Amino acid sequence: MSSTTSGTTTGSPGPTFDPYDNTPELIPLRTAAQAGDWPAVRAFAARLDSADKISAVSSVLAEIPGVETFLERAVAERPGDPLPRTLLAERYVHIGWDIRSGARAQNVSQDQFAQFHSWLRRAEQLLIDVCAEQPAYTPAWTVRLTTARGLQLGQAEARRRYDRLAAHHPHHYRAQTQLLQQLCPKWGGTWEAAHGFARECATAAPDGSTSAALVAVAHIEHWLDLDSPEDTAYLRGLPVRDDLRFAAQVSVLHPGYRPDWYSIGAHSVFAFAFSVGGHHADAARHFAFLGDRATEFPWQYAGDPKGSFLKFRKLATQA
């Protein structure tokens, strides 16, 4: 997530990956959440003008330790309100995923899986009720894409959930990133399905939409799945470069694009994919927007996120 202005590199030692540095508008939310102030959290959410922003709030709030305590009280006090149930469900998902870790399945213990699934089932029960009562409540469907993946409910069920969401909000970027993960081979999908969905979203979205950044996400995930030196050769390939160029031109580089809370993430995936592929001149405009800001994804794949960002940014400015 990001502020809606370009970054700066003046006098700074390097990039920040902190969502609150990158999106200062979220600082009052963090302050309220850390204080356990549900009325202030609710008031913050009430001022937001899109389902995309509510989903962003749900994501960052879930990372704050201990928020489940006041969210559980809010759910008890406002049982018909979809917001506290959705926020609490995503916090439960985050707790469960922390226990599972980001390791591949073969490296996760049975006890970790048991605890992980227990937390996800708690989240799912909250979300089932929200979606039954308010079928158009996009933030809840977005979290249900994550629970579907974690509970291994399968490709068809994940797609069903996404289609229910898309019927009301067809270009919801965070939901699209969640389904894209499901479509990757590591979660039972195929590269044909993953790339096909990314291109489908890019083509269907209006020019100047963030959705086409999914094309870069799919290529990064594909690169990550390959062994060396095939991985580098993949991103260096001209078909991938041209795919990335097209996606960037119809999304974050389009004249009609309006930066939003997802812009840092979108520019980050393009900057990363172009850079790892050696297309440094193509990465330059994305680094110009980023300045000293970046998202953890995908830079955590670089081993040394900060060092890699600085190295690639320098190469881009010299290209």
Q: Going residue by residue through the chain (319 aa), what tens digit of pLDDT does each one get?
A: 655 455 555 445 779 999 999 999 999 999 999 999 999 999 999 999 999 999 999 999 999 999 999 999 999 999 999 999 999 999 999 999 999 877 777 888 888 889 999 999 999 999 999 999 999 999 999 999 999 999 999 999 999 999 999 999 999 999 999 999 999 999 999 999 999 999 999 999 999 999 999 999 999 999 999 999 999 999 999 999 999 999 999 999 999 999 999 999 999 999 999 999 999 999 999 999 999 999 999 999 998 999 999 999 999 999 9
Asked if residue 299 is part of any domain, the answer here is yes
85 and 178 within one domain? no
The answer to whether position 5 is within a domain reads no
Q: Residue 16 falls within a domain, yes or no?
A: no
Q: 229 is in which domain, residue-wise?
A: 172-319
How far is it between the farthest Cα atoms of the chain?
58
Q: Is residue 102 part of a domain?
A: yes
CA–CA distance, 88 with 94 (Å, rounded to integer): 10
User: Is the peptide bond prior to 229 cis by the omega test (within 30 degrees of 0)?
Assistant: yes
Q: How many domains does the chain have?
A: 2
Residues 312 and 195 in one domain: yes
pLDDT of residue 12: 57
Distances (CA, A) of 105 to 100, 121, 160, 240: 9, 18, 24, 29
The CATH number covering residue 309 comes to: 1.25.40
- The answer to whether residue 164 sits within a structural domain is no
Looking at the fold, whether 315 and 225 belong to one and the same domain comes out as yes
179 and 118, same structural domain? Answer: no
| Alpha carbons within 13 A on the beta-carbon side of 111 | 0
- Rounded to two decimals, the pTM is 0.93
pLDDT at 7: 55
